[in-house]
Amino acid sequence: MENFFKFKEHRTTFKTEVLAGVTTFLTMVYIVIVNPAILSAAGIPFDQVFMATIIAAVIGTLIMGVFAKYPIAVAPGMGLNAYFTSIVATQGLTYQAVLGTVFLAGLIIILLSLTSLRRRLIEAIPAPLKFGITAGIGLFIAFLGLKMAGIVQPNTDTLVTMGDLTQPVTALAIGGLVITLVLMARKVTGALFFGMVITAVGGIFFELLHFESIFSAPPVPTLIDLGESVRGVVGNSLYTVVFAFILVTIFDSTGTLVGVSEQGGFMKQGKLARTKSATLSDAFATTIGATLGTSPSCAYIESSAGVAAGGRTGLTSVVVAFLFLVSMFFSPAIGAIASLPAITAPILIIVGCFMMEGLAKINWRNFDDAFPAFIIILTMPLTSSIATGIALGFISYPILKIATGKWKEVHPLIFIFAVIFLVQIIFFPMH
């Protein structure tokens, strides 16, 4: 193991790597609860999503740890799971058809990762659009959390209004949010996870949460009918959804990979060794996860907690993968926790806040940069569609650059995407 992970070269030890792995796992284990809670609302059986989430996380994280040898964990991404559910709810589609879009997106990401196309695609997308997409998804999932908690509710006059904060579930959600915010502010390792635990204790005290059992044998993984799923993609012309999944998955993973690598000192002269193996980790996790019943996977920014704890090699990731495997045996407890929105809603709200960081990097005084980002951020939560937000951003950006005489700054790919999105919105709108 010493020779494989090269502890001395990276100035680390076996103990340090194990502790770093435990730290990373505690900061991201919430996904095992939150992902099934969100995707089961789309009709996917809870146990199926539960196992798909864990298997995708284990596969992606092991590839990252064993082949890329980086202390970065991979799991189904936040935001994309909410988008998945919204597509099923608003488009009247089966979850099998939307899983088909995830599967195709995963295959395309694998192909892009095997070539230089993934890097070129990332370089072609202007920074304001990248930051706008991330922030838009942040508002999208934060709004979902507010609705789940009952903090906001539908209103015929104003679309949404304040909910009844005296309702037991809503009051518990607010209490859980406050507690988790305090833990985050105090920089407690695993704050999101421990916030959920404390909120769950509150749920038991107020008789809102009941456990029939804690442990059980893991549910049997279920494979979807890929033929039916792909036919659903073609039959419903869900190509924009496929593109949205590709784009956001690539942005999320690449941004995290670069950010954590910079933090850990893995970047050498702006370049990262074993990049292909690292980028293939989320691609394979996404593809395999789709066949089992979950939304796209990406590298997790929570990995930075493990790096801060001293993680420098792939052993950190291997430990994370092992702990995800262990969590398979807690499905009854996790199922009970996920069934109470007050426990999971605060996580969505706080993660949404994390995704606002890139807004500080947009030049808001430059209107032709600012407006495309703004329209993405505005329309994603209001239309409940990440794809629509992306489309409007890609259409408005080249129009404004042409109007200001800066069309040479726009990569040819952006013009192509703008035309495709314009045709799609006019002739094949997603209602």
Q: Which residues pair with 177 in a beta bridge?
A: none
The whole-angstrom separation of Cα 209 and Cα 207 is: 6
Cβ proximity of 380 and 139 under 8 Å: yes
Identify the three-state secondary structure at position 245: helix
Angle, alpha carbons 82-86-92 (nearest 5°)? 150
pLDDT, tens digit, 9 for 90 and up, residues 171-219: 999 999 999 999 999 988 888 889 999 999 999 999 999 988 888 999 9
Which tokens in the block code for residue 187? 């920089």
Closest CA to 299 of 20, 7, 2, 24: 24
pLDDT at 232: 93
In sequence order, what are the beta bridge partners of 75?
Answer: 298
Reported confidence tier of residue 428, pLDDT bands at 50, 70, 90: low
**289 to each of 32, 56, 194, 420, how far by Cα in Å?**
13, 5, 27, 28
Domain residue ranges of the chain, discontinuous segments joined by +: 9-357
pLDDT by residue (tens digit) across 309-324?
889 999 999 999 999 9
Cβ neighbours of residue 309 closer than 8 Å, sequence gap 6 or more: 16, 19, 20, 23, 24, 189
3-state helix, strand, coil in the chain (%, to 5): 70, 5, 25
Chain segment 247-272, per-residue pLDDT in tens: 888 877 877 887 788 778 887 766 77
**Cα(296)–Cα(284) distance, rounded to whole angstroms?**
10
Predicted structure pTM score: 0.83
Residue ranges of the alpha helices (H) in 115-187? 117-124, 127-149, 168-185
How many degrees, rounded to 5, is the angle at CA 351 between CA 346 and CA 357? 140
Give the N- to C-terminal CA distance of the chain in Å, as an integer.
Answer: 54
pLDDT of 293 higher than 90: yes
Map tokens 């629509």 to a residue: 388
3-state secondary structure 305-352: HHHHCCCCCHHHHHHHHHHHHHHHHHHHHHHHHHCCHHHHHHHHHHHH
List, for residues 47-93, the tens digit of each pLDDT value. Answer: 999 999 999 999 999 999 999 999 999 999 988 899 999 899 888 89
430 pLDDT above the threshold of 60 = no
Average of per-residue pLDDT values in the chain? 90
Q: Tens of pLDDT along 341-365? A: 999 899 989 988 988 988 999 999 9
Q: Which of 346, 345, 335, 326 is nearest to 40 (CA)?
A: 335
Containing 289, the helix (H) or strand (E) segment is helix 275-292
Cα dihedral: 103, 109, 115, 121 (round 10): 140
Calculate mean pLDDT across residues 222-239. Answer: 93
194 vs 51: CA distance, rounded Å:
22
Distance CA 176, CA 18 (A): 30
pLDDT score recorded for residue 429: 63
The answer to whether the CB of 86 falls within 8 A of the CB of 384 is yes
Is residue 294 classed as helix, strand or coil in its secondary structure? coil
Count of beta carbons in the 10 Å neighbourhood of residue 67: 15
Tokens of 354: 């994390």
Angle among Cα 270, 274, 15 to the nearest 5 degrees reads 100
- Looking at per-residue pLDDT, the higher value among 359 and 3 belongs to 359
